Amino acid sequence: MSTVLTVAAVAALGETDQVVTPWEVAGTAQGGVNYDKLVDQFGCQRIDAALVDRITRLTSRPPHRFLRRGIFFAHRDLNQILDLYEQGGKFYLYTGRGPSSESLHLGHLVPFMFTKYLQDAFKVPVVIQLTDDEKFLWKDLSIAESKRLARENAKDIIACGFDVERTFIFSDFQYVGGPFYENMMQVAKRVTFNTLRGTFGFTPEDHIGKCCFPPVQAAPSFASSFPHFFGVNDQPRCLIPCAIDQDPYFRLTRDVAPKMGYPKPSLIESKFFPALQGECGKMSASDPTSAVYLTDKPKVIKEKIRKYAFSGGQSTTELQRKYGANLDVDVCIKYLNFFLEDDAEFEHIKKEYKVGNMLTGELKDRVVGVLSKIALAHQNARAQVTEEMVDAYMSASPRPNMFGTHSDYVKS
Amino acid sequence: MSTVLTVAAVAALGETDQVVTPWEVAGTAQGGVNYDKLVDQFGCQRIDAALVDRITRLTSRPPHRFLRRGIFFAHRDLNQILDLYEQGGKFYLYTGRGPSSESLHLGHLVPFMFTKYLQDAFKVPVVIQLTDDEKFLWKDLSIAESKRLARENAKDIIACGFDVERTFIFSDFQYVGGPFYENMMQVAKRVTFNTLRGTFGFTPEDHIGKCCFPPVQAAPSFASSFPHFFGVNDQPRCLIPCAIDQDPYFRLTRDVAPKMGYPKPSLIESKFFPALQGECGKMSASDPTSAVYLTDKPKVIKEKIRKYAFSGGQSTTELQRKYGANLDVDVCIKYLNFFLEDDAEFEHIKKEYKVGNMLTGELKDRVVGVLSKIALAHQNARAQVTEEMVDAYMSASPRPNMFGTHSDYVKS
């Protein structure tokens, strides 16, 4: 586990350094999260232009803006997945969510939007884990409430447009058992408490539910956990799109996989969607002033952006015209980086805002427009999601013909 | 957890003291296991004549010889179960086995024979857990082999004569999931690693599968783990017949139960069936010279008893006639205590052997006869067990009318 950012190592970094774990993301006081440093600490690889080009070529479609803009910026063994795909081999996508709140915020959409793009581009199956057990274990939530939130969150995920013929959404309380449980035990037998202490900072005073959980998050990395969905003959490789704070879980999974006789899952990892107050961390669903919710109406979005979105612009119109804005700390610019599709317009806005031709109020109006459109589209899509649709996505039954291959795609 | 025999406490006992954990039973060098001391250390209660009388009265049948002879000798809150039964309330029995070997030995029959007696006497349902996950985690066994052994062991358990209309046998790899998994997580959230360290001696160097398991053994103590078997309206109390080495698991379960809103399971606990070499511990299925297997033919049983059964008799006929035998250390006497039904004959043998009227060879012949009869009866019963019967016992489907009550019994 030499690549693990241990708790001891985090402590040794000192006060001016960042902390990134699955439960805490804190940038430095000097600025945002230092992603270059994180890549080095975690030991993952950067996604460079050549890799984006390769994805573009293989999928015969433009790369998602999350790739063009370096939002999904790091990976582990992504080339192996692309090699496999090029050779006609099979892979699937695995992502997930901890259902801790009823309302998702904009940042929660990022992995799902990107996973849907990958599903469409590669024509591959997706498994989506709702870790209601994790939220029960870590939060002051009943099991019933965790399960209810999982189902509500499933509706938001379905609204992202996943192909029901290629997608299995499951909650742990619903699905753990059988071959999935067998893989959990295969993982658990090969991980010590000391490893969890080093990876996640667990202590002997913590309840053992915490020790029980990492194998639950590891299990979907192995196709054999889903015999009904994949069948027992197909053992496709796994690619995990996630935010980089989930990396510790999958470093652990990758360490264990060969000992279980399975290939290591590959990863494609994103930066965090910043809070309204700036890039000191992720948006938090538990702090309503830190986030734009998917349920927010345009009026609310307007208020939040105007009132809370940290600006890199000057304090008066005159100063802004004279000195221009600091784009590096401006939250609106960061939000446009995530959600404004048009590259030319985005470059134009950055240029104009930086030199002072654009004022903070104008920029904020544009951001309100972009985010409102996304929120409204999501609200409309979610309103179409019926309980029957949730049941269909959450059914473990087989999905015939869910695998595309590179050659299929080239033919089509 | 003040009643727990901690590892530290065991260490403090010194070399001359006994060690009893779910994985190790070692009596003192001076003699066998000191059960009086164990009861005090563990903080359970003794089963006295008044309690045996009460069971006799309530069940309107003679007490099992395991009760008459003090083999099931300790309990926790057994009176609460009897009170409940007397008032027409419902309870069920929960016992289990770790399927680490193909062949069971005579000692393995003890909890199942006794549980079957309790089932017949009280007309109550039984759940029997086969901890194939535990054996996978602790032993050098594959999951497939653990599952195979669980099913083979189920046949031996079925051969004990449980009522299929009142019995659910399950393996963890088969059954963990749903409400059972929910109860596992409810337990896990309320137990710390430090508690497991104190109770079972786990260390941070141990794999976390060990931490995952105690909640699995705790879950069957709660009727809500079996909604298909018990229905969702019935929440009967639980009585656990087991050997006293399993007490740490259920002390932990009893500590947690009230925090989950459930009553504590009650326990009725047995002494260990001694190895052929004497009461320095339990029989071990991994040492073929230490045990009489249920598959042994009479010829093999004869050889084993003659060759290995530790004798309290004198070394020559003359000395035996003159001085008689030491019954306290004689394994054949202990085996008869477990398996010779006739009290009068048992008392006669003890008396004659003690004063030297009976020789060791004569005693051993009688023991060979008793054990051979039990082994042959078991072999015959097991030969009748079909795969379809195993499926029926291992089906989680409802068993209507599986609860008897005291008033039913009195009427019948």
Q: What ipTM was estimated for this complex?
A: 0.92
- The percent of residues above 90 in pLDDT, for chain B, comes to 81
Beta carbons of A136 and B177 less than 8 Å apart:
no
Q: Extract the tokens encoding A10.
A: 């985090």
Cα four-point dihedral sign A6, A12, A17, A19: positive
pLDDT tens across A287-326, in order?
Answer: 778 899 999 999 999 999 999 999 999 999 999 999 999 9
Who contacts A365 (Cβ-Cβ below 8 Å, separation ≥6)? Answer: none
Q: How close does chain B come to A186, measured CA to CA in Å?
A: 8
Tally A–B CB contacts below 8 A. Answer: 118
Cα four-point dihedral sign A51, A52, A55, A60: negative
Nearest CA in chain A to B139: A189
B189 touches chain A (CB under 8 A): yes
- The neighbouring-strand residues paired with B105 are B293
Taking contacts as CB-CB distances below 8 angstroms, the residues of chain B near A189 are 136-137, 207, 209
Q: How close does chain A come to B195, measured CA to CA in Å?
A: 9
Taking contacts as CB-CB distances below 8 angstroms, the residues of chain B near A175 are 177
The pLDDT of residue A17 is 61
pLDDT of A1 over the 50 cut: no
pLDDT of A362 over the 60 cut: yes
Beta carbons of B212 and A214 less than 8 Å apart:
no
pLDDT of B404 over the 80 cut: no
pTM: 0.92
The type of residue at A129 is Q
- The answer to whether B196 and B209 are in contact (CB under 8 A) is no
Beta carbons of A191 and B208 less than 8 Å apart:
yes
The pLDDT of residue A269 is 98
Q: How close does chain A come to B85, measured CA to CA in Å?
A: 32
Nearest CA in chain A to B191: A207
Nearest CA in chain A to B197: A204
Mutate which of A183, A184, A185 to test chain B, going by most B C-beta atoms within 10 A? A185
Taking contacts as CB-CB distances below 8 angstroms, the residues of chain B near A178 are 173-174, 177
DSSP summary character for residue B206: S
- The neighbouring-strand residues paired with B207 are A192
Nearest to B211 among A173, A177, A208 (CB): A208
The pLDDT of residue B302 is 97
Pick the closest to residue A390 from A162, A98, A100, A126 (CA basis): A162
Beta carbons of B204 and A205 less than 8 Å apart:
no
Q: How close does chain B come to A133, measured CA to CA in Å?
A: 7
The CA distance from A45 to A73, in Å, is: 9
Nearest CA in chain B to A139: B189
The CA distance from B112 to B133, in Å, is: 20
Q: What is the mean pLDDT of residues B28-53?
A: 86
Helix (H) / strand (E) containing A73 = strand A72-76
Residue-by-residue DSSP string for A174-234:
HH-BHHHHHHHHHHHTT-BHHHHHHHH---TTSBTHHHHHHHHHHGGGSGGG-HHHHTTT-
Q: Max alpha carbon distance in chain A (Å)?
A: 68
- Quote the radius of gyration of chain B (alpha carbons, Å): 21
The CA distance from A180 to A174, in Å, is: 12
A184 touches chain B (CB under 8 A): yes
Helix (H) / strand (E) containing B19 = strand B19-21
Pick the closest to residue B246 from B60, B98, B99, B394 (CA basis): B98
The pLDDT of residue B5 is 36
pLDDT tens across B222-257, in order?
Answer: 999 999 999 888 799 999 999 999 999 999 999 999
The CA distance from B405 to B346, in Å, is: 34
Q: How close does chain B come to A175, measured CA to CA in Å?
A: 7
Who contacts A412 (Cβ-Cβ below 8 Å, separation ≥6)? Answer: none
The type of residue at A36 is D
- The answer to whether B130 and B169 are in contact (CB under 8 A) is yes
A202 touches chain B (CB under 8 A): yes
pLDDT tens across A243-291, in order?
Answer: 999 999 999 999 999 999 999 999 999 999 999 988 765 556 567 788 9
The CA distance from B334 to B349, in Å, is: 12
**CA distance to A182, B309, B380, per residue, from B303 (Å):** 42, 10, 21
**CA distance to A73, A164, A167, A394, B390, per residue, from A225 (Å):** 28, 19, 15, 15, 26
Q: What is the mean pLDDT of residues A200-207?
A: 96
Distance of alpha carbon A166 from the chain centroid: 19
Nearest CA in chain B to A190: B207
**Number of other CB atoms surrounding residue A23 within 10 Å:** 11
Helix (H) / strand (E) containing B195 = helix B193-200
Beta carbons of B193 and A206 less than 8 Å apart:
yes
Where does B71-166 show beta strands of DSSP type E?
72-76, 91-97, 126-130
Beta carbons of A204 and B192 less than 8 Å apart:
yes
Nearest to B177 among A177, A190, A197 (CB): A177
Who contacts B189 (Cβ-Cβ below 8 Å, separation ≥6)? Answer: A136, A137, A207, A209
Would you say how long chain A is, in residues?
Answer: 412
The CA distance from A13 to A199, in Å, is: 16
A181 touches chain B (CB under 8 A): yes
- The answer to whether B21 and B248 are in contact (CB under 8 A) is yes
Reduced to 3 states, what is the DSSP secondary structure of residue B241? strand
- The answer to whether B188 and A208 are in contact (CB under 8 A) is yes
Query: Which residue's structure tokens are 């309380």?
Result: A173
Beta carbons of A211 and B189 less than 8 Å apart:
no
**CA distance to A5, A192, A258, per residue, from B206 (Å):** 21, 5, 20
A138 touches chain B (CB under 8 A): no
- The answer to whether B202 and B210 are in contact (CB under 8 A) is yes
A196 touches chain B (CB under 8 A): yes
pLDDT tens across B256-304, in order?
Answer: 999 999 999 999 999 999 999 887 655 565 677 889 999 999 999 999 9
Q: How close does chain B come to A265, measured CA to CA in Å?
A: 21
pLDDT of B412 over the 50 cut: no
Q: Categorize the per-residue pLDDT at A11 as very low, low, confident or very high, splitting at 50, 70 and 90.
A: very low
Beta carbons of B211 and A212 less than 8 Å apart:
yes
- The answer to whether A110 and A270 are in contact (CB under 8 A) is yes
**Number of other CB atoms surrounding residue B290 within 10 Å:** 20
Taking contacts as CB-CB distances below 8 angstroms, the residues of chain A near B184 are 212
Q: What is the mean pLDDT of residues A397-406?
A: 80
Nearest to B189 among A172, A196, A209 (CB): A209
Taking contacts as CB-CB distances below 8 angstroms, the residues of chain A near B175 are 177
Would you say how long chain B is, in residues?
Answer: 412
Q: How many CA atoms lie within 13 A of B54 on its CB side?
A: 13
pLDDT tens across B100-134, in order?
Answer: 888 899 999 999 999 999 999 999 999 999 999 99
Query: Phi and psi for B209 in degrees, rounded to 5?
Result: -55, -35
Q: How many CA atoms lie within 13 A of A47 on its CB side?
A: 24
The pLDDT of residue A234 is 76
Least trusted range by pLDDT, from A73-77, B24-28, B350-354: B24-28
- The neighbouring-strand residues paired with B278 are B275
Q: How close does chain B come to A99, measured CA to CA in Å?
A: 16
Query: Which residue's structure tokens are 């398991």?
Result: B213
Helix, strand, coil in percent for chain A, rounding step 5: 55, 15, 30
Q: How close does chain A come to B285, measured CA to CA in Å?
A: 23
Q: How close does chain A come to B118, measured CA to CA in Å?
A: 31
Q: Which residue has the higher pLDDT, B412 or B301?
A: B301
**Domains of chain A, with CATH numbers?**
16-273 (3.40.50.620), 298-384 (1.10.240.10)
The CA distance from A122 to B161, in Å, is: 57
Q: Extract the tokens encoding A300.
A: 């609310």
A215 touches chain B (CB under 8 A): yes
The pLDDT of residue B116 is 98
The pLDDT of residue A345 is 98
The CA distance from B177 to B235, in Å, is: 19
Beta carbons of B190 and A207 less than 8 Å apart:
yes
Q: Is A163 exposed, middle or buried (0-12, 13-18, 19+ CB in 10 A)?
A: middle
pLDDT tens across A130-168, in order?
Answer: 999 999 999 999 999 999 999 999 999 999 999 999 999
pLDDT tens across A371-380, in order?
Answer: 999 999 999 9
Nearest CA in chain B to A179: B173
pLDDT of B7 over the 70 cut: no
Pick the closest to residue A40 from A244, A222, A187, A275 (CA basis): A244
